[in-house]
Amino acid sequence: HELVDLRVVGKIHDTLLLLEHPAVLTLGRHAEEAHVLATPAELAARGIETIRIERGGEVTYHGPGQLVAYPILALSRRGLLVRPLVRALELAMVDTCEAFGAAAGRRDGHPGCWCDPDGPAPRKIGALGIRVERGVSYHGIALNVDPDLADFALIDPCGMPGVESTSIAREAGRPHEVPSTDAVARAADVFARAFASRLGAHPVGEVPTPVAG
């Protein structure tokens, strides 16, 4: 929470962290243990840690080939409410998918980013879960660029049994075309600019390459 503390007292500006995590399952405030389908032994064998965190939402997988973005924003200083922030994050994910040839959209009542959101079997391509503390947002989104989709079979994505997870690479018909880290770096650049545009802001300087974290 160090960055949140610094933003609360004005020692840093609004910040967008861009990361690519090692394999981990995060359980939000509404998550149930039953949403994790793998046994502890199976997770250990695959080197996947399980962590309970403070964000909203349920269980989410993070891993290589996935872009994770955490907006550390002082909402009141921007005149920004939580719902418009969520919408900006969702639409920035949609913009990023479409920039790489993957059609996506929002799905009413189901936060995140979806392929064929109005069809009979929507596919989840991006997860969203934020928290606001002392007027500052943290946590954020996870967008599947080119991860190992088999790892998503370990969970009910955000507590929704039977929902298929997908990726930009799969939807665009270009799986594993480039190394996943390169693909995530390219997606990070597009996402950062799209998110800034959706907020009516502008990124300053170069968008950094996502770091492992």
Amino acid (one-letter) located at 137: S
Instruction: Clarify whether 158 is annotated catalytic.
Output: yes
Answer whether residue 65 shows pLDDT above 90: yes
pLDDT band, very low/low/confident/very high, at 1 (cuts 50, 70, 90) = confident
Distance of CA 131 to the CA centre of its chain: 13
Q: How many CA atoms lie within 13 A of 15 on its CB side?
A: 19
Number of H helices, E strands in the chain: 6, 10
Q: What is the average per-residue pLDDT within 154-174?
A: 82
DSSP code per residue over 34-100: GGB-S-HHHHHHTT-EEEE-SSSSSEEEE-TTEEEEEEE-BHHHHT--HHHHHHHHHHHHHHHHHHT
Q: What is the average per-residue pLDDT within 99-118?
A: 93
Count of structural domains, the chain: 1
SS3 content of the chain, % helix, strand, coil (to 5): 35, 25, 40
In terms of Cα–Cα distance, which of 58, 15, 57 is closest to 37?
Answer: 58
Q: Domain range for residue 19?
A: 2-212
pTM: 0.87
Selected catalytic residue, list 97, 113, 115, 158? 158
| Domain harbouring 180, CATH code | 3.30.930.10
Looking at residue 52, its pLDDT comes to 84
